[in-house]
Amino acid sequence: MKTALVTGASKGIGRQIALTLSQNGYTVIGTYNSTLVEDAENNIIYKKCNVADYADVSSLFAYIKDNHKTLDAVVNCAGVSWVGLLQDMTEEEIAKLVGINLNGTIFICQQAASVMVKQHSGNIVNISSIWGNNGASCEAVYSATKGGINAFSKALAQELAPSGIRVNAVCPGVIKTDMLNCFSEEDLQSLAEETPLGRIGTVQDVADMVEFILSDKAKFVTGQIITVDGGFAM
């Protein structure tokens, strides 16, 4: 059985990715930081990890190396958002977004690469955002972290390809998760109407794309920034 690590796996997109992979033959190690979900029946093993903490990430990979023969896939989904004007953000809020979204992805990928290079195989998917491509007003720092993930993913794909490791990023559009709780029903309806396919995306829409990228059907795909947004950002 293959082993996958999914960060931010206790809710939202990360949880659905973990469930989908567990239903497709993976033993999943899912990380959480504050919200714990028990999913032993779904081949999901939950481990507490603050991805922005290098020591925490190192401890997580010590566990993986000691308890699992291989690490076949990594999906970096841990992330936070902040909506508002840049000048209204505190230093702590800026540091939190950069620490979790960007640094956390880099820390996990660094540790994963050390395992996968030795295996001469592996697959990494970094969850980004359409705002990493286009930028969003009132989400400047969030957009910066996701743009960083996109550039990092392309560069890392080049670095790891000779070792047989694929790296891609998936950019969700407007997806129904807790991150949309700050919007009214009227706002959500407007976002659905702005989407060419006429609806807000689901966590399963993103999970299905991730499952495809990790499969052999995408074995010649690496270094790509793949958008899942119903045409919102065309």
Q: What would the 3-class secondary structure string for 53-111 be? A: CHHHHHHHHHHHHHHCCCCCEEEECCCCCCCCCHHHCCHHHHHHHHHHHHHHHHHHHHH
Do residues 41 and 33 touch, judged by C-beta distance below 8 A? no
Residue 84 φ/ψ, nearest 5 degrees: 155, 175
From 26, 32, 46, 142, the catalytic residue: 142
Q: Return the residue matching tokens 């670095």.
A: 159
Phi-psi map region of 50: left, alpha, beta (phi>0 left; psi -120 to 50 alpha): beta
| Catalytic-residue membership of 46 | no
Residue-wise burial string across 84-107, b where 16 or more C-beta atoms lie within 10 A, e elsewhere: eeeeebeeeebebbbbbbbbbbbb
Do residues 79 and 31 touch, judged by C-beta distance below 8 A? no
Which H or E run contains 32? strand 26-32
Q: Return the residue matching tokens 């809710």.
A: 11
Nearest C-alpha neighbor of 183 from the set 127, 138, 128: 138
Assign 193 to helix, strand or coil: helix
Do residues 203 and 15 touch, judged by C-beta distance below 8 A? yes
Catalytic residues: 142
